[in-house]
Structure 1
């Protein structure tokens, strides 16, 4: 990584003149020979002759006439070059490095830095001479990370949250620097097409050159996080195996932050060996969900923190089974899975954008302006160029679905026949009806005074415990399912409480020291929400050697967490209020009581 140029020190001058053709490329950039020896001039010309032929003809032809290269020895150490008017100014230290290039390896960092510095400043010269044709391009700004606000009057966000796996953090200073940094890689790094494929295609189309993607693997890397199994592994997702993408809506509930539901995208992935088609919808164990959330185990964001941006917003890839468990069994919320009318190439483009977000994006959650619906809209907007022209922006999940339906993008008709929708997996009903049926069994057998399962679960564990010894086997089986539901709900409440303490600005030193334990409890564990931690070097999508390290490092960390699981949970219990600890222990005692009754019944039946 070479030194960067400081911001705000360029003078934009648009020079008029005749454009030089490709045949004149060698003379497009003149040399200011003042203070240079003949050897210096020769070395400078060799640098020009090395770099200019690498540039596409459109770029060379678009440079301002009379552009001059000058070496300067008065730059700060961190400054490699500047563009001032019709001059490209480079640090004299770079010339010294170029003159000894034959004594070092061809890929030496000092030699690369010389080429990168010249390409960088020529990128600025081209962009400004062409009236910011690249840095002002809306599509490129979408891809770069200066995303549109959900509110039309607000324009674009001033902050770029694509912070991880960047070739140079300086690219986030402003769009013009993003263009210059990325054109360095577009010209000089053969792997750029694979690391940032969408940007490579965009630059290739702009400069009318072939997009070099033949050497790239078609698979996209994701960290597959399975909180229920306590596992995380690398998944290489082939877009050709994704038959469809659904808009997945978790229906709202009475919680303030969940009233309008939660928006996600479901990937209908075909099982290995199955030809992509409608039957892929039955391969549920292979389906995955793209979900923006603060932690892998989140099913809701709560309280004041969600209004003030205290939660991170990151894109997770989760098993569909886990998402169904979270919402239908724990939150008692239904899931609507609405097919989106996307072609195969659009599915591939959307998945490619999702992979970029997964490895690079670290946003902030705001209840109104950057919630799950807004994040999902931005993913659709940036990932599918056709949808960027559609008025889909919405601050609520249900509002986004209505707009997708009105524009003919979402096929809401799949829900018309409720039985068929459940059979084909377009609707996953909440478990509340099943819980009420199980409770009815217990209520009739024990003459329970509560009206429904919700009222039963609202009791304290001790109040429920007094009825357990009176239950027969059938009733005990029903109560065992309900007690498990109580445990999952209590764990959710405790996780939320710990999360708020962990993320709170007033978190104590004791809480900070319990960081690892908290992360384990929350299902975050650092690398799960930030997979880039597993491979901090490199940029863009991880390539083959990096993916191997990701897979191995994830395996090591998961194994270590499993070894520490008991100790971590015990440590976490120390940070819970005494009454919450008692509730958790009371539920565990109830489960043990019912389990013993069921085991005794099984033993009696076997004899």
Structure 2
């Protein structure tokens, strides 16, 4: 019996000592009401602290309420001791009690994070989720640009403050897990689970561009409907800034009622594209602004067909849609990160350091934990594509059979071949002065004008499509000029007027700024309900605002560019009239 007792004592000595954590409030000098409020706050916080956080704290943490802190500072932690602003004890209302608890939690997290068992704010995964993401070539981390929908701007002061601020809300807000789900999961896994369970909506809230210009719609995307995510790669273009290609992600969304599977790839009208750009209708970036970070970089949700038309019909660039090898859980995690970026991120575009490839890689790294340390940070869309393929995360075999790829929606070819066929028919009939469609489109609109009303029905129809393509390209360049005008002198009256028109036309979309109010993270049901009337009003005024924007845009263009658009307008009108006349001629002859 003695031998068993001795063995038990010996094993107990070998086991790691578990020290009971104690908050030691110094109530000296406080009046009775202050002492009562202080003790209530201490008791409430102690009950909320999860096990791993308790274990990382010293056995005893002294807490004092002082009058010596700056007025804007709620508390400070020095060498394991906590000082809190005495003014926090002045009010007995619920809001004051919460502020007192928040300040205490905040400083306790600092104490634990600075201890030997802490160091959480320095962990790579935490910094990735918080918004300090790794730059290409592992050259440090980017600034935190998650400026919208923040519970407290002070969270971006440092990673340590981000941890402390969010720990406050994690322990005190009932809906924190719904507002910042990935961060809540990380906190629970790192600091210990809490008994609170939030009832969150399964749908991921996103604002998507509508089918009509300027229309903005709210979608609540059920992750279960997303069958796959593709790396959508736009091939090189003629403009210098597009010669590396462009990186986007395609969400293969199943129509309502369809069981997720390969057939969902046929639901093209349901598919959406995630694209980082300056505004909704933006495709190209002019060189100097792209190099110096003058452009905003925001994540937009666009209909697949809009993106296909932008690149294949206007920019004459092919699109490859390459399936990413992601599990259903990884897709759900990526969608949650997408929503966080969509509502909160307001980045800056740099052609080398923070372009579309870098932004897409950062989205994948934060959204798919397995990719965080995979080294996918690349500065070019081609480089990102190659890296994902080498990791076995990208299926490029879908392009091996070009006919099958076109049929199954893995490749969208440039319209240049189609335009060449249209042009060849018109050239043979009219003996046009150039050899192919590209050369024809590069001519001035005024040079093309004399040829547009000489052809028959087939030639005129082909020239109409080509002229519409030329108009689309010219308008895209005009938008880029407008963008530069807005961003060059942000504080000028003209820039503010143009930006207001862009906003009214649904182009200058900053989702987080539309909500306002004290909410943070992903918007909840009550906030989305409030948002709906604003979206309806905006969609009602968008068509007229878009017309005004076009007029304003044209008025502000250099004279040569403005004249080109005017002539293009006239060309399209003339072709339309000639086409109607050609179509009516056989009918008139038959009667």
If the length of structure 1 is used for normalisation, what is the TM-score? 0.91
Q: How many Å apart are 1:530 and its aligned residue?
A: 3.7
Structure 1 residues 452 and 407: CA distance shift in structure 2, 3 A:
same
Cα 1:385–1:596, aligned 2, differ >3 Å: closer, same or farther?
same
Paired residue for 1:65, among 59, 66, 72?
A: 59
Match of 1:459 among 443, 450, 459: 443
Q: Deviation digits for residues 553-577 of structure 1, max 9, x if unmatched?
A: 1221121232333333323322122
Cα contact 1:501–1:507 (8 A) shared by 2: no
Distance between the aligned counterparts of 1:33 and 1:509, measured in 2? 57
Are residues 19 and 64 of structure 1, via their aligned partners in 2, closer, same or farther at CA, if it must alter by over 3 Å? farther
- Where do 1:407-486 residues align within 5 Å? 407-486=391-470
2:90 to 93, 96, 99: 96
State the Cα distance separating 1:456 from its structure 2 match: 1.1
For residue 18 of structure 1, report the CA deviation from its aligned partner. 6.6
Larger mean CA deviation between 209-218 and 287-296 belongs to 209-218
Aligned-partner Cα distance in 2 for 1:143–1:536: 24
8 A Cα contact 1:193 1:211, kept in partner: no
Which one of the candidate residues 496, 500, 507 is aligned to 1:524? 507
**Deviations 1:452-472, CA, capped at 9 Å, x for gaps:** 011111222222121122111
| Residues 1:566 and 1:315: Cα distance change in structure 2 (over 3 Å) | closer
What does 1:486-501 align with in structure 2 at a 5 Å threshold?
486-501=470-485
Question: Hey, what does 2:341 align to over in structure 1?
Answer: 357
Is the partner of 1:135 in helix, strand or coil? Answer: helix
Contact 2:65–2:85 under 8 Å retained in 1: yes
**Structure 2 partner of 1:346:** 330
CA distance in 2, matches of 1:311, 1:420: 38
Mapped partners of 2:319, 2:173: distance in 1: 44
1:543 lines up with 2:503 in the alignment: no
Would you say the 8 A contact 2:41–2:97 is kept in 1?
no
Q: Which of 113, 121, 145 matches 1:127?
A: 113
Q: Does 1:109 align with 2:95?
A: yes
Which whole-Å CA distance do the structure 1 matches of 2:17 and 2:24 have between them?
15
Q: Over the residues paired in the alignment, what is the CA RMSD in angstroms?
A: 2.0
Q: 1:297 to 1:564 in 2, by over 3 A?
A: closer
Runs of 5+ unmatched residues, structure 2: 1-15
- 1:66 shift after superposition: 2.5
- 2:568 corresponds, among 577, 580, 587, to 587
| Structure 2 match to 1:568 | 549
Q: Which residue of 1 aligns with 2:179?
A: 195
Query: d(CA) in 1 for partners of 2:553 and 2:181?
Result: 43
The CA distance in 2 between the partners of 1:558 and 1:300, in whole Å, is: 25
**Deviation of 1:507 (Å):** 8.2
Please say if residues 227 and 296 of structure 1, whose CA atoms lie closer than 8 Å, have aligned partners that are also in contact.
no
CA displacement at 1:58 relative to structure 2: 2.2
SS of alignment partner, residue 248 of structure 1: strand
Contact 2:147 2:346 (C-alpha < 8 Å) held by counterparts: yes
Name which of structure 1's ranges 456-465 and 194-203 shifts more when overlaid on structure 2: 456-465
Structure 1 residues 532, 508: closer, same or farther in 2, change over 3 A? closer
How far did residue 39 of structure 1 move? 5.0
Equivalent position of 1:29 in the other structure:
23
1:55 and 2:54 equivalent? no
Instruction: Give the Å deviation of 1:517.
Output: 3.4
Aligned to 1:30, the other structure's residue is in SS state strand
Residue 211 and residue 467 in structure 1: after superposition, are their counterparts in 2 closer, same or farther (change >3 A)?
farther
Structure 2 residue matching 1:124: 3-state secondary structure: helix
| Whole-angstrom CA distance in 2 between matches of 1:491 and 1:119 | 54
Alignment of 1:253-332 (within 5 A): 253-332=237-316
Q: Secondary structure at the match of 2:185?
A: helix
In structure 2, distance between residues paired with 1:46 and 1:119: 14
Rounded to whole Å, the distance in 1 between the matches of 2:515 and 2:30 is 47
- Aligned to 1:449, the other structure's residue is in SS state coil
Note the C-alpha offset of 1:531: 4.0
- Given that 2:515 and 2:527 are in contact with CA atoms closer than 8 Å, whether structure 1 keeps it comes out as no
Contact 1:535 / 1:549 at 8 angstroms: preserved in 2? no
Encode CA deviations 1:403-446: one digit per residue, 9 max, x unaligned: 11111110000000000000000000000000010000100010
> Which residue matches 1:370?
354
For structure 1, the residue ranges without an aligned partner over 5 or more in a row are 1-16, 102-107
Given candidates 224, 232, 235, the residue that maps to 2:216 is 232
1:168-183 matches, cutoff 5 A: 168-183=152-167
Shift in CA distance, 332/211, structure 1 to aligned 2, threshold 3 Å? farther
